[in-house]
Amino acid sequence: MQAKLSTMFQSLQVRNYRLFASGQLIKLIGVWMMFIAQDWLVLELSDNSATALGVVTALQFTPVLLLTLLSGRLADRYDKRMLLFVANAFWTVLALAMALLVITGLVQLWHVFAFAALLGIANAVETPVRQAFVSELVGTSLLPNALSLNAAVFNSARIVGPAVAGLAIAAFDVGPVFLFTALSSIAPLVTVIRMRPAELHREALPPRDERASAKVVDGLRYVWRRPDLLLPMAVMSVIGMSLFNFQLTLAALAKTVFQTGAASFGLFSTALAVGALVGALAGTGRRSRPSVWLVLGAGVGCASFGTLVGLAPAYWMVVTLLLPTGFFMVYFAQAANQRVQLGTDAAFRGRVMALWVLVFLGTNPVGAPLIGWVAETYGAGASIWIGGLISLATILIALTWQLRRSGARLRFRILPMPRFYVTSADC
């Protein structure tokens, strides 16, 4: 048991990664608290408008759509550690400004819209750089484990953050939650400064003059020529747009369908995150590149349970179904991420991971307003199960394409029923 735990958390033995993970955990707890507070604030300021929630989500992710590929180019040209410091410092300033507006009671809906857009700019720079930086922290051999632990850190914060935020909003209102977010965002700045640059794994990178000539279009061509990278990205783009909008849909489901308070909304997010954490930990033992069949199989599980969440008629059923939904959601996303990262040359990793972030997060500006409109017109449940069915259809199409391309066949075998014999000794 001890050996298994040691293997599961092996990347934490690396000092730089340990600092990185601890800083991310502290920051992300605050971020998830802020997401809950922000959604609740929008509903209060907009008279429970699901469309307004969709607009905020779209504004938050539009910069990802516009700027992420350029950020990937920066990641392949400049010091990723320094880029992370600058992006996180910008985030801290934004969070402090928003906290002051909320605490003083001066906040208006357009302030939240502006904050979401500026926050998206910080994320558009930070996310692809952070994704590509992991390989420099631990090296290729520990990369699958480190990526799974990243997902575990993310979902641990996703468990703690919403639960604490729901209670904090009920007790103190949204202002203190925004203030805690601002303070927690200082942690990554401290940990980045404390890292030892000499211990980073940068030997696989090309010379500086080659990095200076790195172009976005070269990264796009690289992926286009690689069907093994293109398939998981294409599937993720559709699922990210149609199903991975739980930040929006669960808030609307809690408040408009089940008429619950902030604490109950936090329970939805926490249930999803508990399943996601288990899914992340399930992938920590992986030491090689995941197969395409594993990626697609996990995607089928994610889409199927996501559809059932939207169809569930009772509150307790939604909470129960969110557990396996969270598991397969992260298990699929992490397997796809690992398949992309472990199949990419170091010289292109920044630009390829920027494209991954684009299809993972950048589709939200397209999907979020549409999902918000569906939730407001046909109900929050419909916005979830429709997205689940679209995702399931996409995965089945991808599975058919992969089977034809590889020449493989799906075989179903009916196992014979066991036979039992009764002897005199049994009577």
Three-class SS of the chain: CHHHHHHHCHHHHCHHHHHHHHHHHHHHHHHHHHHHHHHHHHHHHCCCCHHHHHHHHHHHHHHHHHHHHHHHHHHHHCCHHHHHHHHHHHHHHHHHHHHHHHHCCCCCHHHHHHHHHHHHHHHHHHHHHHHHHHHHHHCCCCHHHHHHHHHHHHHHHHHHHHHHHHHHHHHHCCHHHHHHHHHHCCHHHHHHHHCCHHHCCCCCCCCHHHHHCCCHHHHHHHHHCCHHHHHHHHHHHHHHHHCCCHHHHHHHHHHHHCCCCHHHHHHHHHHHHHHHHHHHHHCCCCCCCCCHHHHHHHHHHHHHHHHHHHHCCCHHHHHHHHHHHHHHHHHHHHHHHHHHHCCCCHHHHHHHHHHHHHHHHCCHHHHHHHHHHHHHHHCHHHHHHHHHHHHHHHHHHHHHHHHHHHCCCCCCCCCCCCCCCCCHHHC
CB atoms within 10 A of CB 15: 13
Q: According to the model, what pLDDT value does residue 424 have?
A: 37
pLDDT (tens digit per residue) in 359-413: 876 566 677 778 878 888 888 888 889 989 999 999 999 999 988 887 666 565 5
Short-list 60, 37, 168, 208, CA closest to 124:
60
CA dihedral 190, 196, 197, 203 (to 10 degrees): -130
What per-residue confidence (pLDDT) applies to 390?
Answer: 93
Q: What is the largest CA-CA distance in the chain?
A: 86
Dump pLDDT digits (tens) for 217-236: 777 888 888 888 899 999 99
Span 241-279, pLDDT tens digits: 888 878 778 877 877 777 776 666 667 877 888 888 888
Among candidate residues 53, 265, 60, 253, the one with its CA nearest the CA of residue 164: 265
pLDDT at residue number 381:
85
Q: Show Cβ contacts of residue 12 under 8 Å, excluding neighbours closer than 6 positions.
A: 18, 21, 149
> pTM score, two decimals?
0.69
Percentage of the chain lying above the pLDDT 90 cut: 14
Phi-psi region for residue 261, left (φ > 0), alpha (ψ -120 to 50) or beta?
beta
Tell me what pLDDT residue 417 has.
45
Q: Which residue has the tokens 């408008």?
A: 49
Per-residue pLDDT at 23: 92
Low-confidence ranges of the chain (pLDDT < 50): 3, 211-212, 415, 417-427
Radius of gyration of the chain (CA): 22
